[in-house]
């Protein structure tokens, strides 16, 4: 309950940030939000969600299994340097793909808007998006000292149970892609949060579009 209150407060602040950073399009008269602002807001909200799942025992078990299997772990200043290099490569690979890259401490967050990743109401990855996933896979394969957590979200349109199931199915679909591409399954985690962690106001079309998303969170495997 305490976590829900904190998240609700964060979401309110993030929604206010989006509203405050709107500008009017001189041609259409419509309010628009800059891409930089959207990326910052989404990254901050994803960081809040990561905080909620940070106590997940499954994550700790996967981490311990990887270290026990001899993968090794990062420590000290090597953590930031390792994640800096990985972030730089991801930014290079994902230019003009529609996927935003943000940073929360040592964690890297990739935000994949729903409209480019999945067809409406579907948990099947769009065929055109596999090229983007392939690019991400190249980087996370090279930087294998990271856990990969896939988090699915929806807007509030439709039944809550349906949205919850859809978010879980979409996250699981991305996990299956990475597993089929050869990523160690111990690195992969899948979470669905339905409509419960919006980054914007579901009362507006723009807000709903921002809320329909899948996030890939990369966390360093540390000692």
For 111-157, write each residue's pLDDT tens digit. 999 888 988 788 999 999 999 999 999 999 999 999 999 999 999 99
Full-model pTM: 0.75
* pLDDT at residue 153, rounded to an integer: 95
* pLDDT at residue 46, rounded to an integer: 53
Report pLDDT digits (tens) over 36-91. Answer: 444 444 544 554 444 444 456 788 888 888 988 888 899 999 999 999 999 999 99
Burial 55-85 (b: 16+ CB within 10 A, else e): eeeeeeebbeebeeeeeeebeeeebeebbee
* pLDDT at residue 47, rounded to an integer: 46
> What mean pLDDT, rounded, does the chain reach?
81
- The answer for residues whose C-beta is within 8 angstroms of residue 31's C-beta and 6 or more apart is 22, 23, 24, 25
* pLDDT at residue 5, rounded to an integer: 37
The CATH code of the domain that includes 107 is 3.30.1330.60
* pLDDT at residue 122, rounded to an integer: 86
Q: Region 104-116: what's the mean pLDDT?
A: 93
* pLDDT at residue 158, rounded to an integer: 92
Range of the domain at 123: 2-220
First to last CA, the chain: 31
Q: Tell me how far apart the alpha carbons of residues 33 and 182 are, in angstroms, rounded to a whole number.
A: 38
Choose the weakest-confidence range: 15-24, 141-150, 151-160, 190-199. 15-24
Q: How many domains does the chain have?
A: 1
Q: Region 183-189: what's the mean pLDDT?
A: 96
């Amino acid at each position: 309950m305490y976590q829900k209150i904190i998240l609700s407060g964060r979401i309110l602040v993030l929604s206010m940030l989006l509203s405050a950073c709107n500008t009017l399009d001189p041609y259409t008269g419509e309010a628009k939000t800059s891409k930089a602002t959207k990326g910052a807001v989404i990254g901050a909200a994803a960081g809040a969600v990561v905080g909620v799942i940070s106590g997940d025992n499954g994550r700790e078990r996967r981490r311990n299994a990887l270290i026990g299997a001899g993968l090794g772990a990062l420590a000290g200043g090597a953590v930031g340097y390792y994640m800096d290099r990985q972030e730089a490569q991801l930014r290079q690979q994902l230019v003009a793909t529609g996927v935003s890259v943000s940073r929360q401490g040592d964690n890297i967050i990739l935000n994949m808007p729903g409209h480019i990743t999945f067809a409406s109401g579907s948990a099947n990855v769009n065929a055109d998006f596999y090229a983007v996933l392939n690019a991400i896979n190249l980087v996370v394969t090279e930087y294998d000292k990271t856990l990969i957590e896939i988090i699915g979200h929806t807007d509030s349109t439709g039944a809550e149970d349906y949205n919850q199931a859809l978010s879980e199915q979409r996250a699981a679909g991305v996990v299956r892609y990475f597993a089929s591409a050869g990523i160690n399954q111990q690195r992969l985690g899948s979470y669905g949060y339905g409509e419960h962690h919006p980054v914007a106001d579901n009362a507006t079309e723009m807000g709903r579009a921002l809320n329909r998303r899948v996030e890939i969170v990369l966390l360093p495997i540390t000692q």
